[in-house]
Amino acid sequence: MSAMLPEDDLSCPVCYDIFKDPVLLPCSHSFCRACLQRFWNGGSSRTCPVCRRRASKKSPPSNLALRNLCEAFLQGRSRTAVDEEDVSCSQHGEVLKLFCLDDQLPICVVCQASKTHKGHNCSPTEEAALDCKDKLSSALKTLKDNLDMISNLRMNAAVTLEHIKCQAQRIEKRMKDQFLELHQFLIMEEEARMSALKEEEEKKIQAVKERDDLLMSRMSSLLDIIRSTEKEMAADDLTLLQNFKSTIERTQCSLEDSEGVCGALMDEAKHLSNLKFKVWENMQEISPYSPVTLDPNTAHPCLCLSDDLTSVHYSSPCRPLPSNPERFHISAEVLGRVALCAGTHSWDVEVGTSDDWILGVASVSIKRDKEVQARPENGFWTLCLRDGEYRAMASPPMPLDVKRRLQRVRVQLNWEAGEVTFSCPVEGSSLHTFSHTFIEKVLPYFYTQSKHPLRVVPKPVLISVMENRSNIIYLK
């Protein structure tokens, strides 16, 4: 019955060999017990390697029917191989007792003397079979090693797939949180500015109303004077003359502020001038600028990065990470995200109470799958604190005379001058300067085995305005 089935139907989807001790999952897919266990031990959750359906926590049952079919298939293949061993020479009818080493073919004694194989190196089939088995054994080992490597790559691919999904979810949440913070800031900023606008509107309206009340009072007074004057004018001449002095004095009242009040209107320019820019300036309080951000894809699994990617500390790995080429696999290291290859750059790192760290820059081509010393000859220009001693990691390392414990360290790179300078920004004192002619890009470099974080200090954003003819250029 097994001879009727194609070999592919009896092959494990993981190792692609005939099933060995096959087990059956609830989704009806079968695998070698060892292959399935290796797949699960590689970091994947207990899911089917083919359809990804979740499997039971219990040990999967053996697939007895499939195991019987596989055993029958292998026995049939062995019998066929035995039967073919005693095949006679198709040309001479003699038993194939020799093996032509030049043509890699079994031959008979007549073949050896023929023109086809004359002068060829030959050996008895028994000896040749042993040599061939040794070669095939070596080739088989290489094939199995390649198979294991491919299997491990597939396992890492499964871990990578799961990590990418987790990354996307984590990034989405952090982005939403940051945008929510910005939205809340904008709402509060809008409410404050609207409140100021409403307050000014009420003050301006109140001022106009008060002035209007004053004008109404003056208007009423003028009407009284007009009526009184008209009455005096209608009197007889003697009465008019007798009351003329007082009457003419009443008509001499002046009209104050007849041209209106300055500043009575709303100050539109105050509310609308550079409105978006002013809001952006205020927004810097909740959105500081970091000169260096860390790249999580380079971080060793034992390092924990902050949500804003500006600080790092040592921690036990909480989940398996993909074995991607960018990642440090041996030492607790992480790199900055942006490579530097021109100009002058500087950043301050708050080391605080951390007692085990290395800071500086490293070439983009440094080894990440093996442990190397952080020295210039290996592509590192760094400063470290180790065993309570500050050292410049030259060759050999140079102890530094530091009087007080450093709380911050400034790293400054001058690419064109070929200098990496370390200093204390608090005291303004220089610690050490490396000189090197850079020929490739470098990245900010961090190492720590302390649970106390290293943090990149944010920088203020300075804006200057330069007028160039009619253009205004904003520089950060």
**Mean pLDDT value across the chain:** 85
User: Within a 10 A sphere around the Cβ of 45, how many other Cβ atoms?
Assistant: 10
Place of tokens 């301050």: 348
* pLDDT over 60 at 133, yes or no: yes
* pLDDT over 90 at 299, yes or no: yes
Q: What is the pLDDT of residues 373-429, one digit of tens each?
A: 899 999 999 999 998 899 999 989 999 988 889 999 999 999 999 999 999 998 888
Burial class of 172 by CB neighbour count within 10 A (0 to 12, 13 to 18, 19+)? exposed
C-alpha to C-alpha distance for 114 and 112, rounded to whole angstroms: 6
Query: What average pLDDT does this structure show over 168-184?
Result: 89
C-alpha to C-alpha distance for 470 and 476, rounded to whole angstroms: 20
Q: What is the CA radius of gyration of the chain?
A: 45
Q: What is the pLDDT of residues 350-363, one digit of tens each?
A: 998 999 999 999 99
C-alpha to C-alpha distance for 109 and 450, rounded to whole angstroms: 77
pLDDT score for 348: 95
Q: What is the pLDDT of residues 241-259, one digit of tens each?
A: 888 888 888 888 766 655 6
- pLDDT band at 474; cut points 50, 70, 90: very low
DSSP helix/strand/coil, 311: strand
* pLDDT over 80 at 211, yes or no: yes
Q: What is the pLDDT of residues 452-465, one digit of tens each?
A: 999 999 988 777 66
C-alpha to C-alpha distance for 23 and 5, rounded to whole angstroms: 19
Q: What is the pLDDT of residues 18-57, one digit of tens each?
A: 899 999 988 888 999 888 888 888 766 788 888 888 887 7
Q: For the whole model, what pTM was predicted? A: 0.59
- For residues 474 and 152, the model is more confident at 152
pLDDT score for 79: 66
Q: Where are the domains of the chain?
A: 1-84, 161-283, 296-456
User: Which CATH code for domain 296-456?
Assistant: 2.60.120.920
pLDDT score for 473: 43
Query: What average pLDDT does this structure show over 425-450?
Result: 92
DSSP string, 95-148: B--EEETTTTEEE-HHHHHSTTTTT--EEEHHHHHHHHHHHHHHHHHHHHHHHH
pLDDT score for 3: 46
CATH class of 1-84: alpha beta
* pLDDT over 50 at 78, yes or no: yes
Name the nearest CA neighbour of 374 among 354, 349, 355, 391: 391
Burial class of 445 by CB neighbour count within 10 A (0 to 12, 13 to 18, 19+)? buried
